[in-house]
Amino acid sequence: MIFQKLLRPLPLMVAMVTGFISLSLWRSPLVGAQESAVIIAPPQLDNPKISGTSQTAVLAGGCFWGVQGVFEHVRGVVKVFAGYAGGDRSTADYETVSSGTTGHAESVKIMFDPAVISYGQILQIAFSVVHDPTQLNRQGPDVGTQYRSAIFYSDDGQKRIADAYIAQLDKSHAFPRPIVTRVDRLKSFYQAENYHQDYLIHNPRSSYIATFDLPKVENFKQTFPELYSGRPVMALN
């Protein structure tokens, strides 16, 4: 549903029409209502919280606007960039990635303080409130491999934590269906165009953001109050 994500400030009549389309899609049986947070246990295997240089996590879970928007409100997160992972540099642009043929997923690069938040907690937030990890190649109204659920690990430690956590959640039946999240080695992360950065913060009245993404931020605030920050970090200052 790429057309929804290309909406920009429009005259009132056009905005009313597009808002109606968005609402109709939201209510469609093919889309389903905005998911609620899923209360899940923290990972049994995780890194200890220790002081040190910032670490990086790269995740994909649907449209990167909402994923970035949630993690910008997480205590201990230093920066979050929207971008592309899984494909080549030559195809790392929004229009090409939106074709669903590049191997890229809309992703976020999360830089965080390991003394404040752990890699495992980053994954817990992603699975609990950011997206539905049981949906294959789609999230909400967005369909295609570019919207897949994925964890791009940068070292063997991250892979072990990710694999173990998925197995833990599946074994405990934390979700009604099996988790389909891919765990792939990170080749490269390519930062998205500037107009995509901090999109949720700059466009809270967008019908797409209001319908699909702001509820995720509220779910995070209610589910992880100790990790919620009301002063979001910005990718572009």
Q: Which residues are catalytic?
A: 63
Joined together, the tokens standing for residue 12 give: 């009132």
Residues 57, 183 contacting (CB under 8 angstroms): no
Joined together, the tokens standing for residue 29 give: 């049986």
Q: Looking at 6-155, list the stretches that DSSP marks H as alpha helix, in order from N- to C-terminal side.
A: 12-27, 64-71, 94-97, 119-125
106 forms bridges with which residues in the sheet? 84
190 forms bridges with which residues in the sheet? 84
Secondary structure, 3-state, 165-234:
HHHHHHHCCCCCCCCCCEEEECCCEEECCHHHCCHHHHCCCCHHHHHHHHHHHHHHHHHCCCCECCCCCC
**How many C-beta atoms surround the C-beta of residue 187 within 10 A?**
12
58: which residues sit within 8 A by CB, 6+ positions away?
85, 107, 108, 109, 110, 151, 152, 154, 186, 189
